[in-house]
Amino acid sequence: MIDIGVNLSSKRFKGDIGEVLTRAREAGVQQMVLTGTSLDESQLVIDICDEYAEQFPAMLFATCGIHPHDASSFNNESLAALRDLSTHPQVVAIGEAGLDFNRNLSSAKQQEVAFEAQLELAAELQMPVFLHERDAAKRQLEILNSYRDAFSEGVIHCFTGDEKTLFSYLDMDLHIGITGWVCDERRGLELKGLVKNIPLERLLIETDSPYLLPRNMHPVPKDRRNEPAFLPFVLSGIADARKETPEEIKSATSANAARFFKLPVAD
């Protein structure tokens, strides 16, 4: 299995990253892509890749980008810094990039500027884009549409939107990342009904840990922290919703992630 969204630079992982990675490997997670959400966090996840490269060879990769929440900090210098970070050998995608009108921690205008600059950077570097979107599908689709011929591949990570939005993303030839949201018997019901519409070759899986602890876990860990070792619960939630076997989902999504991020063969 390959976990395409891990926030390993989160404070909640401080102090036990080695144990988290060991448990992930024991659970069958062979590779993971650590999410960069700002310049600082992107540098941090790259540092984690370096620090654990010897102990966990060919296991850790990273994205570098500016999350819409952090868009207010974006300027020309950050763009140059991102371009620099992207040359690190473990960096396999630009992002997360996109729009989040749910919390609007940065203004809509600031978010659009940072988003478009990162799409241009991905196009220039011919790297895939790791996309975030919350409550901003209409504008996100418009912007993606105007850059779609320029950048090579994109994944809508942690997709939680409606049917119309899903089909619009698929029409744009994007990949779809599914998290433990699909295991949530309260707010995940709509998503559960939708995942069967994702062509198997466009499906990617992620924990988005430490967030989104899968609710099909019993018992749940006391600290409620999600971690990559819990990816099998996401996998079984998806298999359940699609009426396919976990084995089918596992082999397809691993092949998809390896192809999408151009990952070397896992150990």
Residues contributing to the site for Zn ion (CB under 5 A): 132
**In the complex, which residue's CB is closest to Zn ion?**
132
Q: Where are the beta strands (DSSP E) in the chain?
A: 2-6, 31-34, 60-64, 91-100, 129-134, 154-156, 175-178, 203-205
Cα–Cα dist 188/185, whole Å? 6
Compare residues 25 and 132 and give the one whose CB is closer to Zn ion: 132
Cα–Cα dist 230/215, whole Å? 11
Compare residues 132 and 202 and give the one whose CB is closer to Zn ion: 132
Minimum gap (Å) between residue 58 Cβ and Zn ion? 25
Residues linked to residue 133 through DSSP beta bridges, in sequence order: 99
Distance from CA of residue 213 to its chain's centroid? 15
Interaxial angle between packed helices 76-85 and 108-125, expressed in degrees from 0 to 180 and rounded to the nearest 10: 40
Minimum gap (Å) between residue 205 Cβ and Zn ion? 15
Q: Please give, one letter per residue, the 3-state secondary structure of 184-213.
A: CCCCCHHHHHHHHHCCHHHEEECCCECCCC
Compare residues 214 and 239 and give the one whose CB is closer to Zn ion: 214
Minimum gap (Å) between residue 253 Cβ and Zn ion? 18
Minimum gap (Å) between residue 119 Cβ and Zn ion? 16
Minimum gap (Å) between residue 158 Cβ and Zn ion? 5
Compare residues 147 and 211 and give the one whose CB is closer to Zn ion: 211
Cα–Cα dist 11/51, whole Å? 17
